[in-house]
Structure formats: C-alpha cells, structure tokens
C-alpha cells in the first residue's frame, strides 16, 4: 500500500518531466528525419553546448523569480551590463601587451565586478519589490531599462570588442574535452537545484510562492527571502553575461534581446508556475535542451531569426493553452 | 406541487472529486425568513452560490416559481429576484457608493450607457428606502464595515428582489447594529420579500427566523418551523452529536503562585485595544470572547509581533520582550494559529511535511543544509503524536480533512518549542470527532507541557468547556474575567448580548 | 478641496513645476515652435496610451501593442503599394481592424486560459514581430515610395506661423485626432457600461463576476481596443514621419506604460483617468525632449525613462497602499 502510494506520487510529480523528455526525443527525431546529415553531426551538438548555457542560466533565473509569483524582466539588461562593465575595466587596465594578455588578477577583478553588478542589480530589484511594494513586472521592466540605458551610456552604443584570453576561456574554452560554458552551467544548475530542495531559502521560496499570507502567519522571513531570490537571479544573469561576453569576445547593450522571451518560454515550458510555488531546475534544463535542439534544427533548415522568434511566441501561447487544458481536467 | 419561490431538488456538487453537496433539497417560500444553519465548511456557501447561479450543479435541479432553471447564470438569478449579500459584501471599493448601488440595475436592464444622473437618483431612492444616511459620492473603500454592509443591503433591495440571501451578516456587527439589521430584515419581509439568513449563530437564528434548515457535510439533516428547535437541538444537528465534555480544571500548584508564562501590562494598540492587562500561568487555558471587531484578533496579532506599534509591556516567563516582528514573537516562544486555516494557515498543494516544518526549516538548516534525517524524524514523530490519518507525510495537505489539517498547523507550532499558544477559532470547520480530539490535545499541551493557551472563539460552548477562565472583550477593552467554573454558556452569551 | 485631492491636480501641478524649471534652464523651451513640436510628439504615444490606460484599469498589462502597431502599419502600406491605392480613410480603417484582430488574440488567451497578461502579450508580441520581419519583409519604405495621400493628410496643420526668416511652422492637425480619441475614451470609460466594467474588473474581479458582468465581453473589448488604437497610431505615425519601418517602435511599450502610470493609473488596477494619462504623456514626452534641448546626451534617455517608471510605480504603490489601509 505504502510503496504503491510512493510510486504513484513519484509518477505524478514527475509527469511533467516525462512529458518534457518525450517532447525532446520527438524534436530530436523530427529534426533527424528532416536533415540527418547536418543535424546529427558532432559539431552541431558541440556548438549547442557552447550556446545554450547563457540561455539556460537566464531561464533558471527567471524560474527563481517566478517561484514567489514574480518575474524578472531585467535579466538581459543585467547580463549585458555585467559584461560591459568588465569590458570597460579591461580596456582601462590594458597595458602595452594588449587586452588579450591581461593579467589573471585583472581578470579576476573583472569577474568580481561583473558578479557584483548582478548582485547590486538584483538587490535593487528585490528592494523595490519588497520595500516599496512595486509589482515585479513594472519594477523589473523599469530597472531593466535603466540597466540597458547605463550599458548604452558606458559604451556610447557600439560593442566593446576584445576580452582577455582567460575571460574568453569561460565562453569558448574546454575543460576535459567539454565546453567550459557547459561545465559551468552543469555546476551552477546542480548548485541551484541543491539550494532549492535542500536549504531553508529554497523551501521557504516555494512556500511563500504557494501562499504568501500563510507564509506570513508561519513566521517566514518573506521580505528577506524574496530579496535573496532576486539577488540570486541577478547573479545568475551576470554569470550569463560573463559567458556571453567570453564566447563572443564582445559586449553590447542590445545583445540577446530575444533571450527574454525564450527565458520566459523555457521557464513555463519547464513546469514553472508563473503564479508561484512550483518550479524545478531539472524541468528547466530539459526544456532548454529541447528548445536548443529545435533552434539548431531551424537554423539548419535556414529559418531566419525572425521566423524563429515567431515560432517561440507561438510555442509560448501553445504551452499556455496546454497547461490550462491539463489543469482543467485535473 | 411546490409552493416555494425557489426550490433546490437533489442538488449535487463536486469539486475536484470532493463532494460538497449531495442530495441537497431546500424550499424557500415567498416572504418567509428562512435560516440555513450549519458549521463552517458544511456546504452553506456552496448552496448560496448555486442559488445565485454562480455555480452550476452537477446533479439535481433548481426551480423558480415551479419552473426548472437549467444552467442558471448569475444574471438570470438576479433577473428572477435572487440577491446575495456576501460576507465580504462584494462591493467595488474603487467606485462610489452611488455607482455600487446602481450597478445591478444597469446590468439587469442590459444598459450600454451609464447615466450618472439616473445613477444618483437610483442610489438616493435605495438609501431612502432603507432609511439610512450615506454619502453617495464617497468611495466605498473609505467606508467603515457597517457602512459597507448598509450599501450591500441597500443594493440588494433595489432590483425588485424576491429573495435576499444574507451570508453571515452579523459577524462584524455589535449587538446594537444587529438589532438595527433585524429591524431592517423584518421591514424587508413586510414587503413580501423572502430572506435566507445563513448563519452558525443559534440565538440569532432562533430570534429572527420562521423556518430553519440545518445542513451538515453537504447534506440536509433537519428542516422545520423555528418553534420546533432549540439551541441544543440545532447544535446536535449541526455537529452530529451532543458535545459533552468534562470542563477543564486548572489548580494552581501549592506554594507561591508561579510566574506567568505570558503577561501583558496595559497593552494598547492605537485604535484597536486599550489598556489590556492579563496574566496566563503555565497550564492555564484562557478563553477570549467578544464580537468581531472587539479587538480580540488585534490583541492576538500584537502578541504575534504583527503590530509593531503597540504600547505597553509583554513579558514571557517574567522577562520583558519587545515583539516587532513575527520572528521575535516566535523566538520568544509564542505560537499563533490563525483564524482562517485555508487562506492563512496552510500551504494547500504542498506536502504535510513541508507544512509541518515550515517554521522549523531555518533551525533545521543551521549548517546551511537542511538535516533531512532530523526533518523526517520530526515529521514522523508529529504525525504519530497528533494522530494524523495519512499513509505518508509527502501527501499534499489539501487532501486531508479539516480536522487533520488543523492538527498539521498545531504540529507546526509544537515543533518550535512554543510556550504560549494563541488559537484563533481552533475548531472552525472541523468535524465533531476531530473537534473533541483537538480539544483533548490542547488540554494535554497545557496540563502536561505547561503551555499557556489563549483561546479565541465565537463558539461560547467551546470556551466554557475547555477554558479555566474566560475573558470578555468589547470595544478594545477587557470587560470581564470570569472563572469558567462559575459560568455556563448561557451566562456568557447573555453577557455578550448586552454589549452594544 | 475636492479638486485638490484629485490626482490629476497633483500631476498637473508637478507638470507645471517641471515646465517652469525646464523653461528657466533653457528659455527656448517656451518658444512656440518648441511647444508645437512637443504637442506633435504627444500624438502617437498619447493614442497608444489610451489603450494601455484601459488595460491597466482592468488590472492587466500589455507589452504587445508596439508590435501590433508596427505590423498594422507595415502591412497596410505594403497592401496600399501592392494595390496602387492612395487614400486615407480606408487604410486607417484597415490598420485599426488589423490591430483589433491582433488584440482579440490577447483577449482570447487572457480570458480563455486565465493566463497572466504579461506572458500572453510577450508571446503575441514575439509572434507578430517575428511574422512581420521573418515573412513579410525587413526593408523600409521611405518617402519616395510612401503613399502620398497619407503624408499629405498627416501634414495638415491647424495653425501655421511664419517666422521672421520666412520659414513656417505649425501645429499638426493630428493633435485633433489625438484629442478626439482621448475624448472618446473618456466618454467610454465614464459613460458606458463596458467602460465601467473595466473599472469593476480591475477593482475586484470576483465581485465583478458575481454582479453579472460579462467578463468575456469586457476582456475582449479591452484588448481589442488596445490593439485597434495601436494599429491606428502605427499607420498615422508612418504618415507623420514619411517612412514605414518594420523595425519601428522597439521598446516603446515602456515609454507608454511609464506615461500612463505617471498619469496616476494604479498598477494594481481599478483606477486611472484619461485626463491624468494625457498629463502623464505630456510629462514624459516633455522630459524626453528636454533632455535633447538641455544637451543631455541622448544615450541617457533610456536611463531617465527607466527611472521615471520606477519612481512613478513606487508612488502609485505607496498611494494605493495608503488608500487601502
């Protein structure tokens, strides 16, 4: 009796994961059938492992904001600003040897500045939401604009090109034959999954998102936990910014603008409830993998980026409709 | 065959697999005052929503003037003269009194345009009809509760209503306001309008109604003219049995009186409570009763650190504490079980375990990571100690019965090593069997674990049977402190009635 | 006294103060041609703001209207060129209807699936823009190809003044269209039941349902009108700037939302007025233009608008919380 219950609850809980896996396999199969010679090449998968971590991290950040029923529309702005601030530092400190050979200490300082940017940005978001009571949508819409604006002010518009070699390693190097961004993503995703399921912060966020009023009466530190969650979101966004600037060897105020929609899509597709209380790193990871396979398939089929944006938008609406339908029958 | 204005026949309503109403039948005759009695959670509000077309029944039929009304919508119900005054009044706080009053008329006439002069005229007439004074241009959000209720009643009266359903209309009113309300209700009846008075307060039902229907667990259990009922009979029908309990006796230990667990000295919450002083010693269960709005909940919230601007002193075990946040209150050893379990007490889709441990996670994660072994141990211990009927603590708490859910909330606080337990409506919506067990648990906690318990309840009987002292509160002050041995339910209720 | 308590009065006061301040720093602000160009800049944002006001009153949010505007504009002009049609009324009608149809999709998803409007409108926005750029085309249609009737129409002035150096400037008649639409929105919000139902929905959705409002109709109306206004404004815009750019209006949603919140609409729904919104639009446009006049680097514009959004929403949140307490 008890064992039976456990199995059933396991299947129920991971129903979403199973569906996601099925979907991923399906996408894989369709893309293989459409263009086997191009899609199945090792190079294709390797390039995916370089590209998806940025988006994966932004999606995890989005999921964390959604856990408490919020949203973070400033993630892309934070990512770009982080990369740009580090880039500005490198250009200022660049010696005669040129940017590529910037000393490791300077690179570390750049990392601290980039992550610090994310932390400060997240703190600002968190304080606006918890202290001033602004709705997360409008607070992060406003700060996102400010961050992007600051990025433009710093660069004057064009990209900052040229990053130290050590920095670029984070975006396009290899560790034990695996793409560095992929390794970074795996480590961070595992860490976040651990934080969400095994620390007080993670479980408190789930509880707060499930019922904010009950959280208050249970004595949970609601304001502080929500603040922490936006700080975490900001830092994750800045890591995405570091990887992005390392991979492309450049930083610009309007890089990755289409990531915002994709991050929301992946979060919702990965089983996050935008109203709060539910979301897993595993779901996000599978969803981002599925989307990346789809995206690389589209690129092989020579779909334009605009067309892909169209498909993402349609996909988001489809997921909404399917989720609504599933919840109805339940 | 039916001589009723509205009739429910064999209504069945299921929510997500849970049967809310089953074989429910109810007849309201034209112009009668009918009482629908039942405990919280018995299905009263589902009946209201079906009669007003908000919910569609899953089985059975609704008849108005003898004609069946398949798929009745709220608009249709209103068009046939069914009006509901909800507990939250269902008013638009962002709109003016006049617009709130005239809204239904406009909607009923399927108007497309908004005529403000006519709106004011309609509102003026409605207010005059009720014989009260209201500022028509005031925003409803700015009115006090009694004012909002007047708006809601005036609104219900205007569209040629034939039945007005009042959902727990007296909860937030003083006795004087209740008398005014009853005068208005009789006045309405005199115009041939039927009233369905939904309540769980027996004295008020017996005073105002002509017929009573009692429901329990979604089924009708009794029906008849009011003359055939008395309080004991209604209680028996509502709860399913006579509640006969040994009264709770607390005897101070020999020697000098022990230091109070909780002591408050001239506690004042501006605008809510004034100059309250009270001491609860280990093992005492003190009852606190008073009308809603008497300040009893404000006192509880102040003790739980949710009203940081209170004045006066609070002492725990003789040591003064300053409670500015809920964390400070919890650290001081105070636990609070809120009034509305579903919206304030529980995280419904989350597991029993998470609900129980909600307040303990930070302590379980002293070394950053939650000690899962200890978490499991604590959960299992509490599931056993509180006798929660479930195969696994991983089950969502929403699948438990009301009684088991309340045990989960209690367990949460026992895990925090609370020394002072404040219970606001501890057995609201709990079935009879569980009720007795929860009472037994509370007594045990006081008697054997030395907790000080402050029990706030509308249910005077519950207080009389489980407390050794009962404090009556009115308009933010303590009026009386009665030893429970000297009082009966009658005397307390009578005393409460004199409050105006 | 009652007048003083109205938020419009407060906004108007702040606006006047800001005008005096800007005028003191740079007296050129008060020159008639500057004021005229300022009013001209109000038109497009203002018309879109009327739609966003309606959405915010109902407790929703819309970030898709710039995409709808640009799609309606570009498709209409493409259509005009393909058919060789040169007119004003029919194209404006077509663009409006196109916007309305897009808005209906928003309404459908918000009502039918009860999904958070932000996420729905993010999705529709991406779809419409992606469709436009990915399938219809990415090339600009500039002055030598633009339908002349549209340009001539948008060039109409109400008054025109000749300067000493014999150059002329005028106040565009498009301002009248804006005022007309604003008046219409005011009448709808104040004197129609559908308008009042938007307030009711934003005030308390559950109470609105119980009262018997047809919420499906209300939600469709809200998002359709927001879309229609955006479509109309989009085409008008291309006539005013003699250019149809399928990449136009990127990021405009923030300016418009900022203007509406500045104008006193509640971010929690249920409150907001046309007059306040017009003042908010004027304030936003003025501040943005003044940055240029005061020779502040244009790159700071985004920062300033972002800060305005934050300040305005913080004030709105503070005010509404105090009112609720």
Contact between B361 and A203 using a beta-carbon 8 Å cutoff: yes
Residue C302 has pLDDT above 50, yes or no: yes
Count interface pairs B-C at CB distance under 8 A: 71
Tell me: pLDDT of B391 over 90. no
Domain B6-239 top-level CATH class:
alpha beta
Q: For chain B, give the number of residues.
A: 500
Q: CB-based contact (8 Å) between B106 and chain C? A: yes
CA distance A258 to A280: 23
Residue B139's closest CA among A149, C6, A176?
C6
Q: Of B94, B138, B114, whose CA–CA distance to C272 is shortest?
A: B94
> Beta strand pairing status for B194-199 and B163-167?
parallel
Convert the pLDDT of each residue in B199-252 to its tens digit: 777 778 888 889 999 988 788 888 889 888 887 788 778 766 555 567 777 777
Whether the predicted pLDDT of B472 surpasses 60: yes
| C2 inside domain | no
Look at B392 and A214 and tell me if their CB atoms are within 8 Å: no
Strand-pair partners of B9: B61
**Do B6-239 and B262-497 fold alike per CATH?**
yes
> What was the pLDDT predicted at A193?
95
Q: What is the model's pLDDT at position A7?
A: 47
For residue A3, pLDDT over 50 is answered with no
Tell me the shortest Cα–Cα distance from B226 to chain A, in angstroms: 40
Higher pLDDT, C184 or B272: C184
Residue A328 at interface with chain B, using a CB cutoff of 8 Å: no
pLDDT digits (tens, 9 = 90+) for B36-52: 988 766 788 889 989 98
Query: Does some domain include residue C234?
Result: yes
The domain defined by B262-497 folds into Rossmann fold (3.40.50)
Beta-carbon contacts of residue C54 (< 8 Å; ≥ 6 apart)? C185, C189, C198, C222, C225, C226
* DSSP structure string for A57-126: HHHHHHHHHHHTT---TTHHHHHHHHHHHHHHHHHHH--TT-GGG--HHHHHHHHHHHHHHHHHHHHHHH
> Per mean pLDDT, which of A163-167, B263-267, B494-498 is the most reliable?
B263-267
pLDDT at B292: 67
Given CB atoms, is C59 within the 8 Å cutoff of chain B? no
Q: What value does the mean pLDDT take over residues B456-474?
A: 85
CA distances from C233 to B37, B51, B300, C127, C230 (A): 58, 47, 56, 20, 5
Identify whether C117 is part of a domain: yes
Reduced to 3 DSSP states, what percent helix, strand and coil does chain A have, rounded to the nearest 5?
A: 80, 5, 20
- pLDDT computed for residue B163 by the predictor: 92
Interface test with A, best of C62, C302, C315 (most A CBs within 10 A): C302
Averaged pLDDT of chain A: 88
Rounded to whole angstroms, how far apart are CA atoms A113 and A120? 10
Least CB-CB distance to C203: which of B74, B84, B92? B92
How many Cα atoms occupy the beta-carbon half-sphere of A309 within 13 Å? 23
Alpha helices per DSSP H over A177-280: 180-198, 200-210, 212-217, 222-248, 259-269
Residue C114 forms part of a structural domain: yes
Q: Which residues of C touch A74 (CB under 8 A)?
A: none
pLDDT digits (tens, 9 = 90+) for A260-314: 999 999 999 998 988 888 899 999 999 999 999 998 888 888 888 899 999 999 9
pLDDT of amino acid B500 = 54
Cβ–Cβ < 8 Å for B278, B477:
no
Output the pLDDT for position B40. Answer: 67
Q: Which three-class secondary structure state does DSSP give residue B163?
A: strand
Q: How far is CA B471 from the centre of its chain?
A: 19
- Averaged over C289-299, what is the pLDDT? 78
pLDDT for residue A4: 45
Give bridge partners of residue B453 from the DSSP assignment: B285, B421
A130 vs B contacts (CB less than 8 Å)? none
Q: If pLDDT is split at 50, 70 and 90, which confidence band does C307 have?
A: very high
Instruction: For C237-281, write each residue's pLDDT tens digit.
Output: 999 999 999 999 988 998 999 999 999 898 889 999 999 999 999
The predicted structure's pLDDT at residue A66:
95
Report how far residue A151's alpha carbon sits from residue A83's, in angstroms, rounded to the nearest whole number.
Answer: 9
pLDDT at B345 over 50: yes
| CB contacts, 8 Å: B394 with chain A | 6, 9
DSSP string, C274-292: HHHHHHHHHHHHHHHHHHH
According to the model, what pLDDT value does residue A96 have? 61
pLDDT tens sequence across B150-194? 888 888 877 678 899 998 887 666 667 778 888 888 888 888 899
Structural domains of chain C, count: 1
C142-151 confidence digits (pLDDT tens):
888 889 899 9
pLDDT at residue C305 tops 90: no
pTM over 0.90: no
- Residue from A209, A214, A276, A277 whose CB has the most chain B CBs within 10 Å, to mutate: A214
Domain of C309, in residue numbers: 8-19+30-318
Whether the CB of A12 is below 8 Å from some CB of chain B: the reply is: no
Q: What is the pLDDT, as a whole number, of residue B270?
A: 86
pLDDT, averaged across chain B: 85
Highest mean pLDDT among B86-95, B487-496, C24-33, C46-55 belongs to C46-55
pLDDT at A125: 96
Tell whether the model's pLDDT for residue A2 goes beyond 50: no
Q: Does the structure show a pLDDT above 60 at B382?
A: yes
pLDDT of residue B39: 73
Q: Where are the domains of chain A?
A: 38-329
CB contact under 8 A, C135 and A310: yes
Give the model's pLDDT for residue C1: 40
- Residue of higher predicted confidence among A28 and B88: A28
**A215: confidence class by pLDDT, cuts 50, 70, 90:** very high
Which pLDDT does position C325 carry in this prediction?
52
Does the domain at A38-329 match CATH 1.10.3470? Answer given as: yes
**Is the predicted pLDDT of residue A71 greater than 80, yes or no?**
yes
Across the interface, do B391 and A330 touch by the CB < 8 Å criterion?
no
In this structure, of A138-142, B59-63, B463-467, C277-281, the range with the lowest mean pLDDT score is: B463-467
Of A160, A157, A276, A294, the C-alpha closest to A207 is: A276
- CATH label of the domain that carries residue C118: 1.10.3470
The ranges assigned to domains in chain B are 6-239, 262-497
CA distance to B89, B392, C184, per residue, from C259 (Å)? 34, 54, 19
Position C8 confidence tier, pLDDT thresholds 50, 70, 90: confident
Percentage of the residues of chain C whose pLDDT score is greater than 70: 97
Radius of gyration of chain B (CA): 24
Using a pLDDT cut of 90, give the percent of chain B over it: 26
Q: What is the pLDDT of residue C209?
A: 85
Nearest-CA neighbor of C22 among C279, C254, C292? C292
CB contact under 8 A, C196 and B99: yes
Closest chain B residue to C57 measured between Cα atoms?
A: B94
Question: pLDDT tier at A243 (50, 70, 90 boundaries)?
Answer: very high
Interface test with B, best of C1, C193, C212 (most B CBs within 10 A): C212
């Amino acid at each position: 009796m008890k064992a039976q219950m456990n199995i059933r609850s396991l299947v129920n809980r991971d129903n979403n994961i199973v569906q996601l896996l099925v979907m991923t396999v399906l996408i894989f199969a369709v893309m293989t059938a459409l263009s086997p010679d191009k899609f199945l090449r090792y190079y294709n998968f390797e390039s995916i492992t370089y590209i998806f971590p940025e988006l994966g991290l932004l999606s995890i950040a989005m999921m964390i904001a959604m856990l408490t029923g919020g949203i973070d529309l400033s993630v892309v702005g934070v990512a770009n600003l982080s990369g740009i601030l580090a880039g500005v530092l490198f250009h200022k400190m660049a010696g005669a040897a040129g940017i590529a050979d910037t000393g490791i200490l300077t690179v570390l300082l750049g990392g601290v500045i980039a992550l610090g940017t994310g932390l400060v940005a997240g703190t600002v978001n968190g304080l606006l939401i918890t202290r001033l009571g602004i709705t997360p949508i409008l607070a992060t819409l406003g700060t996102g604009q400010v961050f992007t604006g600051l990025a433009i002010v710093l660069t004057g518009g064009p990209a900052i090109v040229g990053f130290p070699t050590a920095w670029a390693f984070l975006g396009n190097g290899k560790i034990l034959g695996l793409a560095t961004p992929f390794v970074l993503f795996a480590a961070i995703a595992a860490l976040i999954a651990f934080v969400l399921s095994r620390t007080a912060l993670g479980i408190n966020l789930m509880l707060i998102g499930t019922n904010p009023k009950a959280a208050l009466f249970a004595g949970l530190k609601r304001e502080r936990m929500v603040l922490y969650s936006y700080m975490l979101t900001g830092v994750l966004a800045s890591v995405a910014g570091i990887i992005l600037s390392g991979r492309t060897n450049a930083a610009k105020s309007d890089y990755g603008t289409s990531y915002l929609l994709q991050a929301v899509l992946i979060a919702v597709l990965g089983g996050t409830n935008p109203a709060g209380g539910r979301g897993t790193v595993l779901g996000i990871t599978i969803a981002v993998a599925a989307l990346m396979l789809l995206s690389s398939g589209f690129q092989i089929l020579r779909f334009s980026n605009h067309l892909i944006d169209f498909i993402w938008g349609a996909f988001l609406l489809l997921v909404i409709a399917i989720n609504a339908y599933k919840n109805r029958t339940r | 065959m039916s001589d009723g204005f509205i009739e429910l026949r064999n209504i069945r309503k299921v929510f997500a697999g849970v049967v809310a109403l089953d074989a429910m039948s109810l007849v309201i005759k034209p112009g009668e005052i009918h009482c629908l009695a039942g405990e919280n959670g018995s299905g009263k509000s589902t009946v209201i929503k079906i009669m007003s077309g908000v919910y569609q029944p899953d089985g059975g039929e609704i008849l108005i003037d003898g004609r069946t009304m398949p798929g009745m919508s709220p608009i249709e119900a209103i068009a046939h003269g069914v009006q509901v005054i909800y507990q939250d009044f269902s008013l638009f706080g962002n709109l003016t009194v006049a617009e709130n009053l005239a809204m239904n008329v406009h909607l009923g006439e399927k108007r497309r345009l908004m005529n403000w002069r006519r709106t004011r005229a309609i509102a003026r007439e409605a207010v005059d009809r009720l014989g009260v004074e209201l500022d028509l241009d005031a925003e409803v959000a700015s009115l006090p509760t009694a004012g909002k209720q007047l708006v809601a009643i005036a609104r219900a009266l205007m569209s040629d209503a034939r039945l007005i359903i009042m959902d727990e209309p007296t909860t937030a009113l003083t006795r004087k306001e209740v008398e005014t309300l009853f005068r208005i209700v009789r006045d309405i009846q005199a115009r041939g309008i039927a009233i369905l008075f939904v309540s769980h307060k027996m004295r008020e039902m017996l005073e105002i109604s002509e017929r009573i229907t009692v429901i329990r667990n979604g089924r009708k259990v009794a029906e008849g003219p009011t003359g055939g009922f008395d309080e004991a009979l209604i209680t028996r029908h509502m709860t399913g049995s006579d509640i006969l309990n040994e009264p709770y006796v607390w005897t101070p230990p020999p020697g000098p009186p022990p230091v109070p667990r909780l002591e408050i000295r001239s506690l004042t919450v501006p605008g809510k409570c004034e100059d309250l002083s009270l001491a609860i010693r280990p093992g005492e269960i003190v009852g606190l009763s008073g009308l809603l709005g008497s300040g009893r909940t404000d006192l509880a919230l102040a003790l739980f650190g949710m009203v940081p601007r209170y004045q006066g002193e609070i002492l725990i075990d003789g040591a003064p504490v300053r409670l500015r946040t809920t964390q400070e209150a919890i650290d001081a050893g105070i636990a609070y079980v809120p009034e509305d379990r579903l919206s304030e007490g529980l995280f419904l889709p989350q597991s029993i375990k998470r609900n129980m441990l909600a307040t303990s996670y930070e302590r379980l994660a002293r070394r950053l990571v939650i000690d899962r072994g200890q978490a499991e141990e604590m959960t299992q211990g509490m599931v056993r100690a509180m006798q929660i009927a479930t195969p696994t603590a991983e089950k969502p708490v929403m699948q438990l019965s009301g009684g088991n859910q309340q045990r989960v909330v209690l367990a949460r606080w026992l895990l925090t090593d609370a020394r002072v337990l404040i219970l606001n409506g501890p057995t609201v919506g709990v079935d009879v069997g569980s009720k007795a067990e929860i009472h037994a648990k509370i007594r045990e906690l006081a008697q054997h674990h030395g907790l000080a318990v402050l029990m706030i309840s509308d249910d005077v009987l519950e207080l009389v049977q489980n407390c050794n002292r009962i404090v009556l509160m009115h308009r933010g002050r303590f009026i009386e402190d009665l030893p429970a041995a000297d009082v009966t339910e009658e005397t307390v209720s009578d005393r409460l009635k004199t409050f105006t | 006294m009652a007048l003083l308590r109205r938020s419009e009065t407060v906004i108007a006061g702040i606006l006047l103060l800001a005008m005096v301040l800007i005028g003191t720093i740079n007296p050129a602000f008060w020159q008639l041609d500057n004021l005229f160009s300022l009013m001209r800049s109000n038109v497009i944002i203002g018309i879109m703001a009327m739609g966003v006001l309606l959405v915010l009153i109902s407790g929703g949010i819309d970030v898709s209207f710039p995409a709808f505007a640009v799609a309606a504009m570009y498709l209409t002009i493409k259509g005009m060129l393909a058919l060789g049609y040169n007119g004003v009324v029919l194209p404006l009608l077509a663009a409006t209807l196109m916007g309305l149809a897009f808005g209906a999709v928003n309404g459908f998803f918000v009502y039918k699936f009860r999904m958070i409007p932000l996420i729905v409108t993010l999705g529709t926005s991406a779809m419409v823009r992606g469709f436009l750029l990915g399938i219809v085309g990415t090339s600009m249609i500039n002055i030598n190809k633009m339908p002349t009737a549209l340009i001539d129409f948008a060039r109409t002035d109400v008054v025109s003044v000749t300067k000493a150096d014999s150059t002329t400037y005028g106040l565009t008649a498009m301002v009248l269209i804006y005022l007309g639409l604003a008046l219409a929105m005011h009448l709808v919000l104040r004197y129609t039941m559908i308008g009042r139902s938007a307030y009711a929905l934003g005030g308390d959705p559950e109470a609105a349902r119980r009262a018997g409002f047809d919420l499906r109709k209300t939600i469709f109306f809200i998002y359709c009108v927001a879309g229609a206004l955006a479509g109309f404004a989009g085409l008008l815009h291309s006539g005013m700037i003699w250019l149809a750019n399928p990449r136009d209006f990127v990021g405009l949603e923030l300016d418009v939302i900022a203007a509406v919140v500045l104008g006193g609409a509640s971010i929690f729904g249920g409150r907001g007025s046309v007059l306040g919104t017009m003042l908010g639009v004027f304030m936003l446009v003025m501040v943005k233009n003044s940055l240029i006049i005061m020779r502040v680097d244009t790159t700071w514009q985004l920062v300033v608008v972002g800060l305005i959004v934050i300040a305005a929403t913080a004030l709105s949140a503070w005010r509404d919380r105090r009112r609720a307490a």
